Structure 1
């Protein structure tokens, strides 16, 4: 299929957000409009992606599913969503950010309607797994949304903009869990269909809003070449690895929290639902703070301390599990959500910063300023898609770790021990790659920025 013509009412031919005059005259208004609609669409996408983390709370003994079956069920959309993030990233440049938002939002109708049909006792596990896999389309929305918004904002505002976009989207996890709590507490565990009646109209609103009010940027080249180029850069692999630790933790814990409470502390579905949304809510709400801190301090420094905090939170969960302390365990687990949210914002701010520094070096070497900065935006958009895809795999790994841990020992301690080791490795990698010798790099970057400003 050929790429669409880069012309028409919803296509913008010239876009240079780093030009302050352009930004103040028209860019800010357009970028913000696209940001808010993107947040809403991505929010609904996250809700549908994590729908099964709520539906398993409705699955009582009459469904005939074991704890291992349920962990496998909530792992499935995480895996599919991770793989979809690469093609969703490419789709933004091929079809246009606005056009793909319309399509990706409309696709959410399929798993929502199918879930409403199959959600009843007696349905075979393989059918649940198939529908849950289709629900993975909601996970792809994040990558295309972040790639699209990355192109709209100037370098100095990317951390806050990407943090808001991701945080607002992540709130979809908490939202679906709150709705599930309300349904369970009012209509009981036998009325999951209410969820579908509520979300289908919201999906339609997201489709209509994107179609009527979003824009495509004609200057965003096809990302196929950018994707291939970015995979040659070592930072792509480092940042993807770190994002497993931040976003992978957030989405994995979001899927698993309710099941862990039910199986380790014998909580009822209602008791689990009363707590599970808190972690996802706080982790989502604080994500923009991670981007904001990264804008003002340093993304790598914020990420480093985040991993240290996550290691401490994991230790709390291990101690609480061994002591059978629900209160301490809940505190430690929610702390993991909050810290992973901060890390999500700071790691994503690091990505455009890496390529912006490379652009400054290219400008110093004689490359035209606008060309170098546009190239940096394309590469950062491509890496956002790659890191988002790899990071989402962390959600699968966390749920598989819990599945094996509960199957082998009846508890989650072995899984938490593996998470603790991983966060330690992430801490060391962050320091070794981005903070060791940071003073010399900062002085060099300051000199390059001054030269770039003089040549502007």
Structure 2
């Protein structure tokens, strides 16, 4: 393992996995989670910073929604190059670099976070925070290569869930600062994260590895782009992860704008949904491993539509208690769906390999090749769902002073996702009955 490069890696070989692979894969998983966790915290930093921005900052609710939308957009766009960076530079090397670059938005926010700063400067610094969103794509691509197909649901769910927890953690840090020092001290939040970024980079330096067999495959990337399943899964991932990240950014602002909560009151509630959604994501992966990702995803979208219906009712009735129940249920369901949809991706491409007549390691290698290429694109498009949610909230509050219209649009989209999941992956057809190897019901 000279220079932290592993020259040969075959996780599908059970003897190799038992004697060597599992131990190394798990070690890389834990430190990948740490770096991705802090990346999520920096990406969603402005969901906390806007709670500190009182009237003295001169930014209205629409302006605050635009700030968090800017961070969401940049985070989505950088996911594509981050996906390919792992094969180009090595998973360990890129984790070190991507962790250290988080110092840029953290230090920039520390400098500008005070009344009197121009709105354009806030937009620029919020955009810088978006680079934290890229860590997810590189981390998932890296961990996908370490684990065998039979373990991917659990491993990817744990990796993503541990990263997602960065959202409620930064919100809890914001709550702690507002509750103890007051809303005039946002720099305390940033001061806590700057040393943690350095720690995460050091752990990556000394405890992670690069996989030599992982290489960028331009042919695989183009094949993934042309495969309709990549785009179908991107739509489904908009419904799950896009909802999670969009709601995580917007929850506190919705509570302040629609229900008149103070910064402290909003911060004391904001973290609950993202925390539960993050913790349950590995369970979504585990359920998908056990029962099939398509089945779990289908009924998860049905439940998301029902929870959104509760939120619509509560918004119209101005019932904060019912609103919180519905919204937190939505967060939990987005977490489950995040795990089940990401498990589907390697399963779909493995099923395609089997349908082409491949077996054993040949089929596994094809699945890894295509799923690794597809994950970055799917993750990027999914994150754009968060942008759509924040823009929908911005428009809804601008025109009607309430988020009800936005929630109606979300409910309609979950119904579409339910129909697509059933039609593409679970509907029994004559063709599938004749060629059962083409069935994706088990993915």
In the alignment, structure 1 residue 444 sits paired with structure 2 residue 424? no
In the alignment, structure 1 residue 224 sits paired with structure 2 residue 215? no
Aligned to 1:78: 72
8 A contact 2:258–2:401 mirrored in 1? yes
Aligned to 2:420: 429
Structural mapping, 1:332-371, within 5 Å:
332-362=326-356, 364=357, 369-371=360-362
Aligned to 1:401: 392
Structural mapping, 1:232-271, within 5 Å:
232-271=226-265
1:376 Cα offset (Å): 1.6
Provide structure 2 residue ranges, at least 5 long, that are not aligned to the other structure.
none
Q: 1:161 aligns with which of 155, 162, 170?
A: 155
Count how many residue pairs are aligned between Structure 1 and Structure 2. Answer: 439
1:442 Cα offset (Å): 11
Q: 1:381 aligns with which of 372, 394, 397?
A: 372
8 A contact 1:220–1:378 mirrored in 2? no
Aligned to 1:146: 140
1:373-403 superposed Cα distances (whole Å, 9 cap, x missing partner)? 2232021111111110000000000000000
1:359 Cα offset (Å): 2.4
8 A contact 2:287–2:296 mirrored in 1? yes
Alpha-carbon separation, structure 2, partners of 1:352 and 1:186 = 46
Two-structure CA RMSD over aligned residues (Å): 1.7
SS at match of 1:286: helix
SS at match of 1:121: coil
1:421 Cα offset (Å): 0.7
Aligned to 1:191: 185
1:441 Cα offset (Å): 6.7
SS at match of 2:364: helix
Aligned to 1:210: 204
1:349 Cα offset (Å): 0.2
Alpha-carbon separation, structure 2, partners of 1:195 and 1:124 = 21
Alpha-carbon separation, structure 2, partners of 1:427 and 1:39 = 30
1:9 Cα offset (Å): 2.4
1:179 Cα offset (Å): 0.5
1:221 Cα offset (Å): 1.7
Aligned to 1:453: none
In the alignment, structure 1 residue 172 sits paired with structure 2 residue 163? no
1:247-304 superposed Cα distances (whole Å, 9 cap, x missing partner)? 0000000000000000000000000000000000000000000000000001011001
Alpha-carbon separation, structure 2, partners of 1:15 and 1:233 = 27
Provide structure 1 residue ranges, at least 5 long, that are not aligned to the other structure.
1-6, 449-456
Against the structure 1 CA distance between its residues 442 and 260, is the aligned structure 2 distance closer, same or farther, given a 3 Å change threshold? farther
Alpha-carbon separation, structure 1, partners of 2:57 and 2:219 = 48
Against the structure 1 CA distance between its residues 368 and 332, is the aligned structure 2 distance closer, same or farther, given a 3 Å change threshold? closer
Aligned to 1:3: none
8 A contact 2:355–2:438 mirrored in 1? no
Alpha-carbon separation, structure 2, partners of 1:438 and 1:212 = 52
In the alignment, structure 1 residue 326 sits paired with structure 2 residue 320? yes
1:89-139 superposed Cα distances (whole Å, 9 cap, x missing partner)? 010111111111111111100000000000000111110000010111100
1:447 Cα offset (Å): 11
8 A contact 2:350–2:366 mirrored in 1? no
TM-score calculated relative to the size of structure 1? 0.94
1:150-185 superposed Cα distances (whole Å, 9 cap, x missing partner)? 000000000000000000000000100000000000
SS at match of 1:231: helix
